[in-house]
A and B are shown apart, each in its own frame.
Chain A
Amino acid sequence: MKYVCSLLLFCFLLTGCVAEEIIDEVPILFIVGYDQGENGKVKGTISLQTFDPNQEVETRAFEAEAYTSKGLRNQLSGLPKPISIGKMAVLLFSEDMAEEGIIDILDSFLRDPAAGRLIYVGVVEGSASELIKNEFQYLQGIGPFLQNLIKQSVEYGNMPENNIHLFDYKYYGDGMDPVTPILRMEETEVKIKGLALYDDDKMVGKLNLDEMFIFALINKSFSAGLYELELPDGEYANLQKIKSKVKYKVENGNTDPSLNISVKLNGNIVEYTGEKLTKEKKTEIGQTFEKKVEAQGLDMIAHFQTLGIDPFSIGDHARSQTRNFDFKKWDERYPDLPVTIDVKVNIGESGIID
């Protein structure tokens, strides 16, 4: 009885230790955009949503400048406190911000137990602040909209998997570098423009949408959405439900490394502009696709090698396949690494009529 009483008492003593965050009283943030401010400050922009009983969503943007990400909170004096980032969905960085390095700001989110691990990190061509402030007519506000946009591009589209956790993993891990999506605000909509390449946390290059698709296929086993393929005779074929199965093979990782990537692709033809889709035509489409993936893949890797970055995690694959792997030597040899890609395309079905 004594124990029960003292335990109960203990619980009551603890009540002050947990901060209440009643759901309808805290401002819930879904999106933050970071731009470069004056004097080395960071300019943060948030979009706050209010929900009224008719289930209509109103959004308002706020912005502030400070030297740190958490410091922005104090500057957002027009906002009720506590600002909660538990539902944070998207972090946007302007291009010039990303080129300078973003890990300082990501670190604040990675440390915070309230923040999720599935936050998307994105780069905006232009100003992140303007993208957030622009009042697009989105049903749930810009934050959840962008979250859905990126999520569905990963699940059903051609974008490789990415989030803050993977960014962190690839940033700290040896022999790999992170990627993030690039967004651009156009007059009436936000568009995904491709993939940003990073050297550590600094953006050093871009892939366009076409390259992003090839990247996703080769990066690791993946199932992509739709792809329009140009054939040598000027016709076009559309491939759907493309599934890739990828194997990296690194030989002699420590002494004289060479890399072979085998990519097995499965896809369905859903549209073809030519007259009749014969068997020969199908093999031709397959071969064209094979050549395209191989050529573009090799180009891409060569490009990465000159930039000295490794978004394909080749170094990590080498480490896993080599005993006593030496990263120092690898880094020296990486730019001259001989790479071959074997692509095999299997065209599954081409519709219910033939």
Chain B
Amino acid sequence: MKWFKRGASEKPSTLEEMVKDLKQSIDFVSYENKESDQSYRLIYFASLIDPEQLHRDILPVIKECESKSLEDLKGILPIENIEIQSKLSLIQERLLEGHVAIQLSRGQKVLLVNISLRKSRDLSAPEIEFSVMGPKEGLVEDLHTNMNLIRRRIPHPRLRMKEITVGTVSKTKVVVAFIEGVASEQNINTVMQRLEDLDFDIISDSSFIGQMLEDNSFSVFPQMIDTERTDRITGHMNFGAFAILTEGSSNALIGPINFGQLLVSFEDYYLGWNIASFFRIVRMIAILASIIATPLYVAVLTYHYELFPSKLLATLISSRSDIPFSPVIEVFFLEVTIDLLREAGARMPTKVGQTLGIVGGIVIGTAAVEASLTSNILLILVALSALASFTTPVYRMTNTIRFLRYPLIGFAQFLGLIGVALFGLFILTHMIRLTSFGNPYLAPLYPPRIKDWYDSFFRLPYVMQKNRFQFFRGNQSTRFEDKKKKAKHSLDFDEQ
């Protein structure tokens, strides 16, 4: 950061010095018109402004303007948000945001007009959090578009969006969106304060902020949800959470969350409650199985062969009888192979990735068994647990699950099932201690919030979701008013 500090220390004292300094960049323009009656100067970054607007709205007005004062010009220009500024630091800041500075006479005073060029890609369907049902609208990298998407989904006056700039170099705009009254003030204050205290040079993506705002940055568990789905953002805001939108990032951060919400796909809300509950439970079993399947294999094969039914023993022993490694080496070998495939697949273009999957999955898998490097039972287990780990709806959680398995395999090798239990206790203790913006991470389970269970491991129908989660401690506790039930309309087949 030395270069930056030196640059900062040599602050230009006049506008001319500043222009001279900035001119070292090729995209900086300082255009002076020295025609007798109409002399003016335009200062701007060509790479930041919209030239069409400059030519269409600004230049003709300046040329036709009779007056020589900036105030008059300010009155005529058909653009909003024009200001007259003489403070050098502010002028520089505005120029870097895409304003054009208009100078009519020598001196420090300039007219700043915002004609910044905003380019963003088109809206597209979310790629990471794909869903079959539900809206297919994902965030883009442009903050204004994202705010527009959210505001359109919650056209309510109490939807608040607070802006704050973070990053000393990147000057990234960050917007905290929440619904006043629904979100707890305490949570909003916490996040605003943490954002204000955030001191870093370049914020490349929202995940930077996510990692810096977390309560415990040593934890492997995500304490905020990264999402690109607008329905998920607004849905969580309606629970009482806030969303952090970051300029230049197509992911929003949602907090506070609890662990259960990491296992919820937003599609659950679009399916019937009974079916959604079933899938949630399946997902939870899958995640648990994904973490403990291979460690159990190691523990049982190394220490507790008694646990196998006698009839399975023959299959298992004969499949392992040619393998020269102990179970733990065997498991590590296959697990690392799967993670290699995953890493390689993530770095490759889609089409190459598919080939890679086939080569890796089928060729390596079969060859490994035929070469007696692994048993085919383990191959099934590893493939199943890899498959199960991808059922998590939040991408960061998938990584956590894949990561947790390795220390657990180590524990299983050292102490067998006791090791597995011990590691389970470590994780449980850690999760009980963990907080997300000061809210307990294992919330509806511990501390028990039984009233919140209606939408946790299962989901009850919407009629029963009258109360908002206690977890968020919002002021507005109900989602709808109880109305008198309409008398059931009797249909002909109901008649007695």
Contacts and interface: CB of A to CB of B under 8 A. Distances in A.
Interface of A: 7, 11-12, 14-15, 18, 20-24, 26, 28, 30, 51-55, 57, 84, 86-87, 89, 114, 116, 140, 144, 147
Nearest to B410: A11
Contact of A53 (B303, B304, B310, B321): B321
Nearest to B306: A86
A11 B313 contact: no
A53 B321 CA distance: 6
B45 interface: no
Given A11-B411, A23-B320, A55 B314 contact: yes
B327 interface: yes
B411 A24 contact: no
B310 A52 contact: no
Contacts of B301: 22-23
B115 to A, nearest CB: 53
A108 to B, nearest CB: 17
Contacts of A7: 426
Interface in B400-421: 411, 414-416, 418-419
18 contacts: A7-B426, A11-B419, A18-B415, A18-B418, A20-B302, A20-B303, A22-B302, A23-B301, A23-B316, A24-B320, A24-B321, A28-B313, A30-B310, A51-B313, A55-B318, A87-B305, A87-B306, A87-B310
Contacts of A14: 414-415
B315 interface: yes
Contacts of A87: 305-306, 310, 313
B326 interface: yes
Tell me which of A7, A14, A54, A114 has the highest count of chain B C-beta atoms within 10 A of its own C-beta. A14
Contacts of B418: 18
A19 B316 CA distance: 21
A115 B228 CA distance: 55
Interface in B287-316: 300-306, 308, 310-311, 313-316
B317 A24 contact: yes
Contacts of B319: 53
A23 B305 contact: yes
Contacts of B416: 18
Given A22-B327, A52-B321, 15 more contacts: A18-B415, A21-B305, A23-B300, A23-B301, A23-B327, A28-B313, A30-B310, A51-B317, A52-B318, A53-B318, A53-B319, A86-B304, A86-B306, A87-B313, A144-B311
Contacts of A11: 411, 414-415, 419, 422
Contacts of B316: 23
Contacts of B308: 23
A53 B322 CA distance: 7
Interface of B: 300-306, 308, 310-311, 313-323, 326-327, 411, 414-416, 418-419, 422, 426
Nearest to A84: B305
Contacts of A30: 310
Contacts of A15: 414-415
User: Which of A24, A57, A144 has the most B CB atoms < 10 Å from its CB?
Assistant: A24
* 9 nearest A-B pairs in the assembled complex, by CB-CB distance: A86-B306, A51-B317, A23-B305, A51-B318, A24-B320, A23-B301, A55-B318, A15-B414, A24-B317
Contact of B305 (A28, A89, A144, A147): A28
Nearest to A4: B426
Given A11-B414, A14-B414, A51 B321 contact: yes
- The B interface is mostly helix, strand or loop, or mixed, namely helix
A22 B315 CA distance: 15
Contacts of B320: 23-24
A35 B422 CA distance: 44
A26 B314 contact: no
Contacts, number: 78
Nearest to B309: A87
Nearest to B316: A23
B411 A18 contact: no
B113 to A, nearest CB: 55
Contacts of A24: 317, 320-321, 323
Contacts of B302: 20-23
B419 A114 contact: no
Contacts of B326: 20, 22
A26 B301 CA distance: 11
Nearest to B308: A23
A282 to B, nearest CB: 42
A352 to B, nearest CB: 35
A233 B457 CA distance: 68
Contacts of B426: 7
B332 to A, nearest CB: 15
Nearest to A16: B414
A144 B414 contact: no
Nearest to B307: A86
A147 B327 contact: no
B330 to A, nearest CB: 11
B314 A140 contact: yes
Contacts of B414: 11-12, 14-15, 18
A28 B411 CA distance: 25
Given A11-B414, A55-B315, A86-B305, A147 B419 contact: no
B310 A57 contact: no
Nearest to A49: B314
Nearest to A115: B306
Contact of A144 (B303, B310, B327, B415): B310
B370 to A, nearest CB: 11
B422 A114 contact: no
A144 B327 CA distance: 26
B317 to A, nearest CB: 4
A140 B315 CA distance: 11
Nearest to A141: B314
A84 B310 CA distance: 14
B305 A51 contact: no
A45 B232 CA distance: 68
Contacts of A55: 314-315, 318
B314 A57 contact: yes
A20 B303 CA distance: 5
Contacts of B415: 11, 14-15, 18
Contacts of B322: 53
A12 B422 CA distance: 13
Contacts of A140: 310-311, 314
Contacts of A144: 310-311
B387 to A, nearest CB: 25
Contacts of B305: 21, 23, 26, 28, 84, 86-87
